[in-house]
Amino acid sequence: MGSVKAMSVSRLETYASCGHSYKLDRVDKEPRRQAVWFIQGTAVHGGLEHYERSLRQVSVDECLAVFERVWHEELAKAKDKQPDPSMWMIGGNRKLETDIAKRFEQGREQIEGYIAQNQPGDDLSPVEIAPGEPALEVGFELDFDGVKVLGYIDCVREERATGRLVPEDWKTGRNVPTGPFQLATYRFALEELTGQTIEYARYWMCRENKPVTVDLRKYTREEVADWYRQLVTGIENKVFLPNPGDCFTCTVKPSCKYAA
């Protein structure tokens, strides 16, 4: 298994969803479609990180200013990289510029909603790894029997009443992820980093401004390791089964002969 580069949650999720999509994107390097929701996600993350890094002391306006700066930077880079409007995925029957304006306002609302629901002194706040250093974009490297898995955790919260640590991922989209791959991986990454037992994790769903808690106690380290071993085995043996169906958000759909 030494011939494959380090794995990640996103690689595992793509491969598990559709092996052929993984091949077109990661192996064949086919042209990728762009989407405004990618930019929205990055810009919202920027605003939320700024708020949490300040220990929740900065104003909403300051966080919105960070959001807008990141938005414009990312939008300019995305348009430069993919100038063809037909290669942009658009939600609903809208024009690209309408989608840009709509999601810009959604992103601002998500910043405002998060701050309103996450105030200084709340029971679940980002833990400080060092004084004044909240746990944001926490990098990790796992080794599953020679299979390396690299990644970042958006935020690690601490339940003040119990000291329990809870990894959290911020989601700006509509749907709560149904697969276990991301948060189960975060469980063992955080256990390795801190030595604490991690039983629960959360998605913060920015559209609804509420958390969704996931019980991770049923996933074992061996089970999670096996996911990544199977991923590497499949890639090395060039097993890329197509799974057409939910193809609307596939970035390589124009290159796919199986696309629904």
What is the spatial distance between Cα 104 and Cα 96, in angstroms, rounded to a whole number? 12
What is the spatial distance between Cα 173 and Cα 40, in angstroms, rounded to a whole number? 9
Say whether pLDDT at 7 is over 60. Answer: yes
User: pLDDT tens digits for 196-212?
Assistant: 999 999 999 999 999 99
Domain-ending residue, one of 80, 101, 120: 120
Residues 184 and 98 in one domain: no
Residues 130 and 223 in one domain: yes
pTM over 0.85: yes
User: pLDDT tens digits for 155-175?
Assistant: 999 998 899 999 999 999 999
Range of the domain at 206: 124-231
Domain-ending residue, one of 81, 103, 120: 120
Residues 99 and 131 in one domain: no
What angle separates helix 36-53 from helix 96-117, to the nearest 10 degrees? 20
Q: What would the mean pLDDT of 117-126 be, rounded to a whole number? A: 90
pLDDT band of 110, cuts 50, 70, 90: very high
User: pLDDT tens digits for 207-228?
Assistant: 999 999 999 999 999 999 999 9
Which is nearest to 112 in space by CA: 158, 69, 62? 62
| Residue that has been written with the tokens 């990790």 in this structure | 140
pLDDT band of 4, cuts 50, 70, 90: low
